[in-house]
Structure 1
Amino acid sequence: MSVSSEKQGLNQEYSLCMPKDFERSRNLLQQVYEKQVVLEYIFTRGITAYGGIRVNNRGFHKEVSVKYSIDQWKTASFKLTITNDELLLMLSTKDSTSSILPMSISFAICYVVHEHNFWDNNYSLDYILEIEENTEKRSKSILLDDAFRVQIAKDYRAISHGSDQAGIVCGLKNLGGTCFMNSVLQSLLFTSPLTSYFLLNEDMKNISVSNEIIVNEYLNLIYLLFCKKYAVIIPVPFKQIIGHMQDIYFENQQQDAHEFLLFLLDYLHEDLIRIKSTSIIVDLFHGTYKSTTTCIDCEHFSINFETFVCLTLPIPLTSRCTLEDCLQHLYEDEYLADDSRWFCSECQRLCNGKKRLEIYKLPKILIIQLKRFQLNHEFNWIKNDTLVLYPADNLSLQQSCPSSSSQQALYTLYSVISHQGSLNDGHYTTFCRDNEQLQWFECDDEKIKYFNSDKLDSNSNAYLLFYIMKNAT
């Protein structure tokens, strides 16, 4: 929804807010049955309000819209939302062409099914969003504003620790099929250099909720997870914001943890570049491949370099192997023949060749994906359940990266994401090491418990391994 002009600097100088705390109904299902449509939650970030709408599923063909007004209902407009049983609402002042800045937005929810209209208008009081000026000329920050911290905790419906739980890791509620997201967030939380950067770097105090949307919400989430005040948070705000960035994360359905990890790191990188023209994502996670292709006929060769964020390792088809076995398999020479022949600039024709891959530059944070899913000859996805033995300490990649010193190539394990089940019906959990307590935890969504690291070797479901370079600062 558009209500103001970019000429007025609304993106940076103004923000939407609820005039009073939105009270989520304790009898939500009962209200849905009675009213047929209910605004379940709403939260604001900068010039945008996000919300969830719950409807009674009275038919397959249905439509939900938001009726809103910026002039106390002298005029009104409609904004369509998506048509599911759980709907997402997003009202934004971002793209306005109006020259008048309204002081408030009144809105109500309309649900149309079988030619019947049902309304949630807050019991005839309407829902109200106010537009306020940011007097400090910068967005509120969870690192600076105590009142804002309280509001963010309410947005995430944070549940405080009991007296006997203080200090234990905070859990993340599964929203239906979002264990893939929770496992990645827990692993990144325990990536100490990344978390320290977000919570301690001065640049994080001045980020714009309008321009650096993902970074801002990630900071909110990481603060709640790290502050050790809460036992569980419900990551609806983070999930809804990334859903508007990438359609596949719009619904609460299972996705691949590896793909989500790459998506999140990429968006964090893009936002951070806008803040300071540099990125901690590059500093920590980026490594470099060196690819050498040699002509079989004349031995002419060419060298190419390529950035990587994650090492994807094939797993041998056996009952048991080591991580070193997987690494050796990756760096075997690849022969280029027939349809894969290589154009040799020396011979000036397509020639048979061989290609060798090695690591030229090691990242401080090494993420390894064990390639457990592959297509069989019938083009069906199958899972490789081979037990891969991986070291918890002193993983050496010097053989894979000849240009590195023996000290640079040593890594320590600090997180493992596991996948149980099949591709279409599976579940992710995370095992993380707390550097302060020197203690391992098993994070199964909101369920957190201590974990004996001696059992890591027997984990045949390991999917993503997170290592930190021993001399990383």
Structure 2
Amino acid sequence: QLAPRDKFLLTWKRPYGVGAGLRNMGNTCYMNAALQCLTYTPPLANYMLSQEHSQTCHHQEFCMLCSVQAHITQVLHHLGHVIKPSHALAAGFHTYKQEDAHEFLMFTVDAMKKACLPGHKPLGGHSEDTTLIRQICGGYRRSQIKCLHCHGISDTFDPYLDIALDIKGAQSVNQALDHLVKPEHLDGENAYHCSFCLKKVSASKSLNFHTSSKVLILILKWFSDFTGNKIAKEVQYPECLDMQPYMSQQKKGPLIYVLHAVLVHAGRSCQSGHYFCCVKAGNGQWYKMDDAKVTACDISSALSQPAYVLFYIQKTELERDSRPASVGQEPRALGAEDTDMGATQGELERGSCIKVPELEEHLEKSTLSSDQWKCLQEQNRPKPEFNFRKIESTLPSNVVGIHQSKYKSEMKKNHAEQDNYLLQKSARDVTDQVSLNTGKVPSLERRA
């Protein structure tokens, strides 16, 4: 199932509160925690609640998208209940023993991605980029190698659905990201074979993110690859994360992501422990989801957990304009007074763009006659300019914006001076002609 680009609303269409808890069926806390994080991911939940997929699904047998859609719908419509997750959600995955929540999460996400594709053969390339899961969680990394001898550059682009962060030398997520994109020097045994120099040379290798995902999934690598033991340390993570410093193409302004779910592992190794999560519901309230137990919490509690998987959502342009928040600070959580505004904000942010007909209607209503305009100019100098460029970035790509020339006033001035010059020249010509005919030179008063 292919989805149009920019189709998904990144905020809740309705201010849903907390839904049902999930029953632990025997060592299934890893599955419950991962499913709750997916349930409270707004763009995914909005799509599932629309029931659009089930109406067009052509899978004859099992479909992960249909199963997740049924699960999310059941959870969000059963406040205060405890439900039993379907066995179909873990089909093909090892169950009823201690498992890794991240592995189950990506197993589910990958199965949903495959369910989006028609037929049995993967489409690959641009077709996969237009699927539901790739549109929500997908992005591209850019690996760049620069030859220090001929300065030739080789770029490789790889798709990603999640980002793994090495935390051994980091005290925070930002430090781990800094380490991830830090250039690496290739020399000696690790020298780079340059296709231009046709030999091994010294080179610089760097990794950045070429395109950003709507939902950012960060994995903190707590466990040793050899022993499976968990690193004993604290790693801080912010509520608002700016990803712009880690992009391959630097743009003006930050690229802000806001935390909406934290999947937690409590234990000393990957072979033992317990999984739960903290999620932000559609009403803005944070909740701790511990299997069947659901309790309200605040953002400070969500930020103080030993996080294993972090879920961030990219802020839209309209959100950045209406609710400015500093990176690293804690904006207030939505309270009861904000819940009534959910539908209004959803309508404003639907599609994250400004409709051209509405803009044209606004301009037509603002049209004035020439005399009125001159009077208004005298009363309100300087006249504030309508900055069309501020909204230009949010208009559809096929819209052509016609900007008023900044030289317009200067052109009017030049035309006025030219007309005055021509008038005076004509007067002089007439005077010369009269002088020739009468032999007298009349005196002319030059008017200012």
Counterpart position of 1:118: none
Counterpart position of 1:71: none
Query: Which structure's CA Rg is the greater one?
Result: 2
| Higher helix proportion (structure 1 or 2) | 2
Q: Percent identity?
A: 30
CA distance in 1 between partners of 2:234 and 2:70 (Å)? 37
1:183-210 Cα offsets, whole Å, 9 max, x none, are 1110111111111111215343232452
1:75-116 Cα offsets, whole Å, 9 max, x none, are xxxxxxxxxxxxxxxxxxxxxxxxxxxxxxxxxxxxxxxxxx
Counterpart position of 1:130: none
Query: 2:199 matched to 1:353?
Result: no
1:401-429 Cα offsets, whole Å, 9 max, x none, are 15264556111100000111021111111
Query: 2:114 matched to 1:267?
Result: no
Query: 2:192 matched to 1:331?
Result: no
Q: Residue type of the partner of 2:87?
A: P
Residues 317, 291 of structure 1: CA spacing in aligned structure 2 closer, same or farther, 3 A cutoff? closer
1:198-245 Cα offsets, whole Å, 9 max, x none, are 121534323245245212211211111111256111114234xx33xx
Residues 426, 303 of structure 1: CA spacing in aligned structure 2 closer, same or farther, 3 A cutoff? same
Counterpart position of 1:210: 60
Counterpart position of 2:136: 284
Greater Cα offset, 446-455 or 227-236: 227-236
CA distance in 2 between partners of 1:306 and 1:287 (Å)? 8
Q: Please, what is the CA RMSD of the aligned residues?
A: 2.4
Give the 5 Å matches for 1:446-457: 446-457=292-303
Structure 1: stretches of 5+ with no match in the other structure: 1-165
Query: 2:273 matched to 1:426?
Result: yes
Q: Residue type of the partner of 1:234?
A: K
Give the 5 Å matches for 1:111-260: 168-208=18-58, 210-211=60-61, 213-229=63-79, 231-239=81-89, 242-243=90-91, 246=92, 249-260=93-104
2:235 to 388, 391, 406: 388
| Higher strand proportion (structure 1 or 2) | 1
1:400 to 237, 241, 246: 246
Structure 2: stretches of 5+ with no match in the other structure: 1-15, 318-350, 352-448
Residues 407, 208 of structure 1: CA spacing in aligned structure 2 closer, same or farther, 3 A cutoff? farther
1:235-267 Cα offsets, whole Å, 9 max, x none, are 14234xx33xx3xx2331122222222221111
1:301 to 134, 145, 153: 153
CA contact (8 A) 2:143 2:157 kept: yes
CA distance in 2 between partners of 1:279 and 1:213 (Å)? 15
CA contact (8 A) 1:317 1:384 kept: no
CA distance in 2 between partners of 1:286 and 1:312 (Å)? 14
1:339-369 Cα offsets, whole Å, 9 max, x none, are 4332210121233322101111111101111
Counterpart position of 1:373: 223
Q: Residue type of the partner of 1:261?
A: L
Give the 5 Å matches for 1:17-96: none
Query: 2:286 matched to 1:440?
Result: yes
Structure 1 moving runs of 4+ over 3 Å: 275-278, 337-341, 404-408
CA contact (8 A) 2:223 2:270 kept: yes
CA distance in 2 between partners of 1:192 and 1:449 (Å)? 20
CA contact (8 A) 1:432 1:440 kept: yes
CA contact (8 A) 2:244 2:251 kept: yes
1:368-394 Cα offsets, whole Å, 9 max, x none, are 11111123xxx322312322221113x
CA distance in 1 between partners of 2:307 and 2:293 (Å)? 19
CA contact (8 A) 1:285 1:309 kept: yes
Residues 334, 279 of structure 1: CA spacing in aligned structure 2 closer, same or farther, 3 A cutoff? same
Q: Secondary structure at the match of 1:194?
A: helix
CA distance in 2 between partners of 1:339 and 1:178 (Å)? 46
Counterpart position of 1:46: none
Cα displacement (A) at 1:331: 0.9
Q: Residue type of the partner of 1:398?
A: Q
CA distance in 2 between partners of 1:261 and 1:406 (Å)? 34
Q: Secondary structure at the match of 1:388?
A: coil
CA distance in 1 between partners of 2:146 and 2:17 (Å)? 56
Q: Residue type of the partner of 2:281?
A: D
CA contact (8 A) 1:224 1:230 kept: no
CA distance in 1 between partners of 2:214 and 2:152 (Å)? 34
Higher RCO (C-alpha under 8 Å, 6+ residues apart): 2
1:26-49 Cα offsets, whole Å, 9 max, x none, are xxxxxxxxxxxxxxxxxxxxxxxx
1:92-150 Cα offsets, whole Å, 9 max, x none, are xxxxxxxxxxxxxxxxxxxxxxxxxxxxxxxxxxxxxxxxxxxxxxxxxxxxxxxxxxx
CA distance in 2 between partners of 1:237 and 1:208 (Å)? 21
Counterpart position of 2:314: 469
CA contact (8 A) 1:419 1:426 kept: yes
CA distance in 2 between partners of 1:261 and 1:408 (Å)? 29
Cα displacement (A) at 1:173: 1.3
Q: Secondary structure at the match of 1:399?
A: helix
Counterpart position of 1:414: 260
Residues 361, 227 of structure 1: CA spacing in aligned structure 2 closer, same or farther, 3 A cutoff? same
Q: Residue type of the partner of 1:433?
A: K
Residues 212, 341 of structure 1: CA spacing in aligned structure 2 closer, same or farther, 3 A cutoff? farther
